[in-house]
Amino acid sequence: MKLHHFFRSGSSHRVRIALNLKGLSVDYVPVDLRIGEHLGEAFHSLNPQGLVPALETEDGVLIQSPAILEWLEERFPDPALLPGDVGARAHVRALAAIIGCDIHPINNKRVLEYLRAKGADEDAVKEWTGTWITAGFDAYEALIAKDRARRGFSFGEQPSLADVYLIPQVESARRFGVDLSRWPEIMAVDSNCLELAAFRAAAPLQFAD
């Protein structure tokens, strides 16, 4: 497999974490969004949407990180990133969706570039990102805080799909200067995840080539 990715892309980051958790070896192909490599003909022939990540597999080129993560879970089910119970799976997917549907899409690179093009300065951009990170993290914190069966991670005793989404968003929040002390439960999960090699090896600075 080949993963076409950008080191600082949150959606690329989450796929790298999942690949590591499942013990899968892939070739990493950098796509530098800073110089517009994703806009070129070569990458568009791979992914007509022009977004990272894109994963080349025996089943073809997969795009959109939620679809890639679901494929990985179905194709390589052990270790599982979703719990066995149907209700618990819905809960973990909901946690992931807080990040993947409500925070990340309106804070990603092309949205922020649009804001800048419309005249927003960097203070306004940071206020924008902080607003949506705070709204999402407040909800995430409340949900995991009331789960008394939780043991160290967002759900249960092992990393799940929720953590795969959460940790890249925490990394992004740090980059935008968001005060994370507001969310002690999230910070505890982040600390526990970063004790694992699978998360550390997926970190953006490991790929800042």
Tens digit of each residue's pLDDT (9 = 90 or more) over 2-29: 999 999 999 999 999 999 999 999 999 9
Delimit the domains of the chain by residue range.
Answer: 2-79, 86-199
Q: What is the mean pLDDT of residues 123-144?
A: 97
Nearest alpha carbon to residue 20 among 203, 207, 198? 198
Residue 181: pLDDT over 70:
yes
> What is the pLDDT confidence band of residue 148, given thresholds at 50, 70 and 90?
low
Residue 96: pLDDT over 80:
yes
C-alpha–C-alpha distance, residues 88 and 82, integer Å: 8
pLDDT of residue 208: 73
> What is the pLDDT confidence band of residue 209, given thresholds at 50, 70 and 90?
low
CATH architecture of 86-199: Up-down Bundle (1.20)
| Helix 161-175 with 86-97: angle, nearest 10 deg | 20
Tell me, yes or no, if the pTM score tops 0.85: yes
Q: What is the CATH code of the structural domain delimited by 2-79?
A: 3.40.30.10
For the stretch 109-119, pLDDT in tens is: 999 999 999 99
Cβ(125)–Cβ(112) below 8 Å: yes
Q: What is the mean pLDDT of residues 161-174?
A: 98
pLDDT of residue 149: 66
For the stretch 37-89, pLDDT in tens is: 999 999 999 999 999 999 999 999 999 999 999 999 999 999 999 999 999 99
pLDDT of residue 147: 83
> What is the pLDDT confidence band of residue 203, given thresholds at 50, 70 and 90?
very high
HSE-up of residue 48 (Cα within 13 Å, Cβ side): 0
Q: What is the DSSP string of 14-80?
A: HHHHHHHHTT---EEEE--GGGTGGGSHHHHHH-TT--S-EEEETTEEEESHHHHHHHHHHHS-SS-
**Residue 103 CA to its chain's centroid (Å):** 11
C-alpha–C-alpha distance, residues 180 and 18, integer Å: 24
| pLDDT averaged over every residue in the chain | 96
Nearest alpha carbon to residue 18 among 67, 61, 51, 58? 67
